[in-house]
Chain A
């Protein structure tokens, strides 16, 4: 411990000397690490946005159950009550013809004049059912089979597609995370080996003088962690800039898109990338360093 404390200045000088010995190679390592971490950050961001979108849609997932002819309002209300008690149903509300007319009028907005062309109210009574997306298929089957329900209208295709996209993003994210990890470790361990090769005579002399392995290796580990960490910080900075721009564009053109809070997303991605870069830098350096343990 004393040796470490007394030699902090020496270690830092050695780190910068190691980096300066192969500036171009280390610059490429830095750029490569930044780019792959940027890619990882983008995938993480897309996954987070997609997940947020699905969560919002999941909360909003809705089906409409329409009645057979000749049912009384009491029977309809009883059915709505029965449905509201089903597993996977978060709420069930009976909508009579008048309410259906008013809601559709609101939805049509400026086009609502078209409804005046009808002599009678064209809308039927129905039950507005809010469901959990995970139980969508079961709930639709159960409701469809209820006596008094003629048919169920759902947006299952759209929801299923969205679920598929998020699933694919998650899978892609995992693959990219793995690729980022492996690539960073390869880049950093190669950089460390290069540093060891460039300093081989000094290392050999230090060994013959009895320097402990940790003393010889520590500057290389610090150099590896420092370069990867800088790559992570650069990637996080770029992602923050990209998110700012992206959010501005999305809010301008797709107003209703439920995006996660920009500040939280930026914070999450920055922390993950910087922590990941430090961890990968350390692992890559130690992996590269294993070669100098051999006598």
Chain B
């Protein structure tokens, strides 16, 4: 076992109404891992992301995220943990009435960093995701794809150790979806693991070194992606 960012041992989650969401999940995710979670049926992937964010607590088993026990983690510890996670929500959760820049800055305001530096980093990140011309646009005036890129910028500007993207390819055409996945994969480095959930299994085949997790009725099956000799890092093959 390495320095896992996520360590799940026999994790099960049963909701109060008796719905079984996850069943005996065993998983270890390390810095630099690119993980695709796909779903055959049920809602296990959303439940898993909720567990990682501390929005739910495992019913049984043990789950640690960056050393925090998610079963016993107190509110303060969970809040601190969330600062090391870059979440990209399915519905983005951008704050309306604010510009793209303000939304990106919002994710860093409580990091004790000077506002000038926050602004500079936010502009740099918005430029990296291709939104340099929309920095001062209100988020409600942006297209779906642009709003999604604001959400990505808000998540990555914090230099998170874990980037979580929930269904980032939904509502995007094939080319944009591929380019979105490539953008997200580009944030995966020796310090950061990236987890992407998606229904679009045809888009995630043949990623060098990626980890594929299929969720079927709350059960996880894991397979490693192919490792092409001579190919460096994470990239889509072919």
Q: Taking beta carbons and an 8 Å cutoff, which residues of A are in contact with B? A: 2-3, 6-7, 9-10, 201-202, 204-213, 215, 295
Contacts and interface: CB of A to CB of B under 8 A. Distances in A.
A178 to B, nearest CB: 35
Nearest to A204: B93
Contacts of A208: 53, 55, 82, 87, 89, 93
Interface string B87-130: 10100011100000000001101111111000000000000000
Given A207-B82, A209-B87, A211-B110, 19 more contacts: A3-B112, A6-B115, A7-B115, A9-B115, A205-B95, A206-B106, A207-B79, A208-B53, A208-B55, A208-B82, A208-B87, A209-B106, A209-B154, A210-B83, A210-B84, A210-B110, A212-B110, A213-B75, A295-B75
Contacts of A202: 95
A215 B95 contact: no
Given A201-B93, A204-B93, A295-B75, A209 B82 contact: yes
Given A208-B53, A295-B75, A10 B109 contact: yes
B104 to A, nearest CB: 11
A11 to B, nearest CB: 10
Contact of A2 (B55, B93, B112): B112
A202 B85 CA distance: 18
Nearest to B76: A212
A211 B106 CA distance: 9
B136 to A, nearest CB: 16
B135 interface: no
In the complex, the 7 A-B pairs of residues with the closest C-beta atoms, listed nearest first: A210-B82, A210-B83, A2-B112, A205-B93, A215-B110, A3-B112, A211-B110
Contacts of B114: 6
8 contacts: A2-B112, A10-B109, A204-B93, A208-B53, A209-B87, A210-B80, A210-B81, A212-B110
A39 B83 CA distance: 48
Contacts of B113: 6
B41 to A, nearest CB: 26
Nearest to A17: B97
Given A3-B109, A3-B110, A209 B115 contact: no
Given A7-B115, A201-B93, A295-B75, A215 B109 contact: yes
Interface string B190-229: 0000000000000000000000000000000000000000
A210 B110 CA distance: 8
A211 B79 contact: yes
Contacts of A207: 79, 82
A212 B111 CA distance: 10
Contacts of B154: 209
Contact of B107 (A2, A9, A201, A209): A209
Nearest to B83: A210
Nearest to A205: B93
A208 B85 CA distance: 9
A295 B54 CA distance: 11
A3 B114 CA distance: 8
A212 B80 CA distance: 8
Contacts of A212: 79, 110
A206 B111 CA distance: 12
A204 to B, nearest CB: 7
Contacts of B81: 210
A201 B115 contact: no
A21 B145 CA distance: 28
A206 B89 CA distance: 13
Contacts of A206: 106
Contacts of B75: 213, 295
Nearest to A209: B107
Contacts of A7: 109-110, 115
A10 B113 CA distance: 13
Contacts of B115: 6-7, 9-10
Contacts of B107: 209
Contacts of B112: 2-3, 6
A205 B104 CA distance: 12
A144 B213 CA distance: 105
B83 A209 contact: yes
Contacts of A213: 75, 79
B138 to A, nearest CB: 14
